[in-house]
Amino acid sequence: MKRNVKTQKLQNKIKASILKHVQTINNRKTVTSQASSSDNKQFTKYVPVFLGLLLLICIAGCSNPFGSENNAEAEAETAGKFRITATTGMIADAARQVGGEHVYVTGLMGPGVDPHMYKASQGDIRKLDEADLVLYNGLHLEGSMTNIMEKMSRTRDVTAVTASIPTGELRQSEENSSEYDPHIWFDVSLWMQAVEQIRDSMIASDPGHAEDYRINASAYLAELKQLDKEVRQQIASIPKQSRVLITGHDAFGYYGDAYDIEVRGLQGISTASEYGSRDVSELRDMLVERRIQAVFVESSVPARSMEAIIAGAAQQGHTVRIGGELYSDALGEQGSAAGDYIGMIRHNTETIVKALR
């Protein structure tokens, strides 16, 4: 609402300025009847001014220069709600589950977006600045955005949802012993701890709705507990020797540890890490030697790396197929089966089981 008032004031100022310039010219014309070429020159001089001022009105009013219906609708939708900006789709979904009708959640990274390589836009900075609470994964998942979050946390409510998970429960990065694998959502029990952190942060920032946040979180955590049990049972149905999950990057390490399936990734835990011909040949040789039938592509990682491994195995007389597409660092399209966290985990598990069993 404040933003609309400011915009209206700016528009009024600009319109008043235009009218003032128009009146000036009219006065000049009526002072003398000698409306000569000099008057025309005076008028011509003001044309760029008018055009510039009109452009400012358009910018101030966005798509509708004299009042934006879209802005009014957005203001109405968020009116009285606790505003949360979350980096990833998984975090945004959890915030909506816990917050219910009391929150308006904005997610920065949509379907197919790789958070490791993500760079914040000016629009993202504005969304972060307008939020009552900012939620991010932490453990360097968001790459260059980590510095932005740390700076913002000095003056506003900013929470890393992994902050309360004991380091003893985290997987250490093979590339850097001082860092941890950020893909904690693939162990549902760890993600439950992240949900608890989200709940606690929302209660601290918006205590007026604390009881509803506790009730909503309790119901959601019960669903996640059941999901954890489902995944464990489904993966156990795959023969032990076939329980090998090969993907484009090492995002599924927590999944492997939690549900007893061997996991190999061509790249490291971050897609920012490079892979070379040696990595490709080693994984190809593993496929051939162990007669592994399927590998998996990821929605947020280009498939060409896995296609190269499949081609290499074929040259050695072993056929490998793509077992399906998994969602690793991002959810599916909103409204799809993988459009929320529970749906994404179920989709991945069903795809893995179908291809390997």
What does the alpha-carbon distance between residue 86 and residue 149 come to, in Å, rounded to a whole number? 11
Closest CA relative to residue 81, chosen from 202, 201, 217: 202
CATH architecture designation of domain 79-231: 3-Layer(aba) Sandwich (3.40)
pTM tops 0.75: yes
Report yes or no: 181 and 170 within 8 Å, Cβ to Cβ.
yes
| CB contact set of 115 (below 8 Å; sequence gap of 6+) | 87, 88, 109, 137, 141, 142, 143, 329, 330
Dihedral over Cα of 188, 190, 196, 201: its sign: negative
pLDDT at 252: 95
> What fold characterizes domain 233-356?
Rossmann fold (3.40.50)
137, amino acid identity: N
Q: What is the pLDDT of residue 173?
A: 83
Q: Give the three-state DSSP class for 84.
A: strand
Q: Which pLDDT does position 53 carry in this prediction? A: 47
Contact 134, 105 (CB under 8 A): no
What local confidence, expressed as pLDDT, does residue 273 receive? Answer: 53
pLDDT at 178: 81
Which pLDDT score, from 0 to 100, does residue 78 have? 80
Contact between residue 271 and residue 301 where contact means Cβ atoms under 8 Å apart: yes
pLDDT by residue for the chain (357 residues), tens only, comes to 444 444 444 445 544 554 454 454 445 444 444 444 444 444 444 444 444 444 444 433 443 333 344 556 556 678 899 999 999 999 999 999 999 999 999 999 999 898 988 999 999 999 999 999 999 999 999 988 999 999 999 999 999 999 999 999 999 987 677 899 999 999 999 999 999 999 999 999 999 999 999 999 999 999 999 999 999 999 999 999 999 999 987 899 999 999 999 999 887 555 555 566 788 888 899 999 999 999 999 986 778 878 888 999 999 999 999 999 999 999 999 999 999 999 999 999 999 999 999
DSSP string, 117-181: G----HHHHHHHHH-SEEEE--TTTTTTHHHHHHHHTTTS-EEETTTTS-GGGSPBPSS-TTSB-
For residue 212, give the amino acid letter: D
CA dist., res. 173 & res. 163, Å (int): 17
pLDDT at position 304 is 81
